[in-house]
Amino acid sequence: MSEGPPATRDRLVYAAMTLFSEKGYGSTSVSDILRQAGANSGSLYHAFPTKQDLLLAVLEAYKGGIEPMLLEPAWGAVADPVEKVFALLDCYRNHLAVSECTYGCPIGSLALELHEPDPPVRQLLADNFEGWRRHVEACFEQARPRFRPGFDPARAASFTLTVMEGAVMQARTYRSLDAFDQAVASLREYLDAMTIDHPPTEKD
């Protein structure tokens, strides 16, 4: 159908996505992006009025990519809703591991780098967090019967995001997965504590 060529615009967004997550927004120059994408400045400024508009496109791409690029691969083989959450965390762990603890969550990095972001940028960062959180919430919602009555799936999902981002930050700072693994283990302890003690009848 609308199968296009390797459109310049897309190459620019992809190059920017890569470089922003490698070096941050401020430390990535427009010429870095042009070199990586094999484009000229005129093309970039034909597609985007400004470097910041390119950032907006990148954040839109992340937002739209949560499901197909992140969750789909992470959840392919996992059925249990709570294990899906830990499979997702393990996916971040893998990214850290293969990059020697330098690649973390690109959204989190941008969120802390941009101290006074223009409203549309901040909104898209928040949208990304919110999208992620909602998918995790759905897992907890689906597993609700196994949790204690007061358990709040929305709050647990928010807490999961909190733990993931804090854990990634420490992994990158220490250049070690220790704190990350400990945080995930603690999160599991937390969820176990929220679980209804199954009557030790069946197989125990």
| Residue 19 CB contacts under 8 Å (≥ 6 apart), including other chains | 28, 32, 33, 36
- Window 11-70: residues binding DNA (CB under 7 A): 28-32, 39-47, 49-52
Among 8, 18, 24, 43, binds a second copy (CB under 8 A): 24
By CB under 8 A, residue 27 contacts a second copy: yes
Among 108, 131, 136, 137, binds a second copy (CB under 8 A): 108
Rg (CA), the chain: 20
Would you say 88 or 164 has its CB closer to a second copy? Answer: 164
HSE at residue 151, side-chain half, CA atoms within 13 A, is 21
Q: How far apart are CA 134 and CA 129, in angstroms?
A: 9
Among 45, 51, 158, 177, binds a second copy (CB under 8 A): 158
Q: How far apart are CA 24 and CA 47, in angstroms?
A: 21
Give the one entry of a second copy, DNA, none that residue 199 binds, where binding means its C-beta sits below a cut-off of 5 to 8 angstroms depending on kind: none
DSSP sequence for 76-104: TT--SHHHHHHHHHHHHHHHHHHTTS---
In the block, residue with structure tokens 């400990």: 182
β-strand partners of 147? 195
By CB under 8 A, residue 66 contacts a second copy: no
Would you say 35 or 122 has its CB closer to a second copy? Answer: 122
The residues that touch DNA, with contacts defined as CB under 7 A, are 7-9, 28-32, 39-47, 49-52
The residues that touch a second copy, with contacts defined as CB under 8 A, are 22-24, 26-27, 102, 104, 108-109, 111-113, 115-116, 122, 125-126, 129, 155-156, 158-159, 161-167, 169-170, 172-175, 179, 182-183, 185-186, 189-190, 193-194
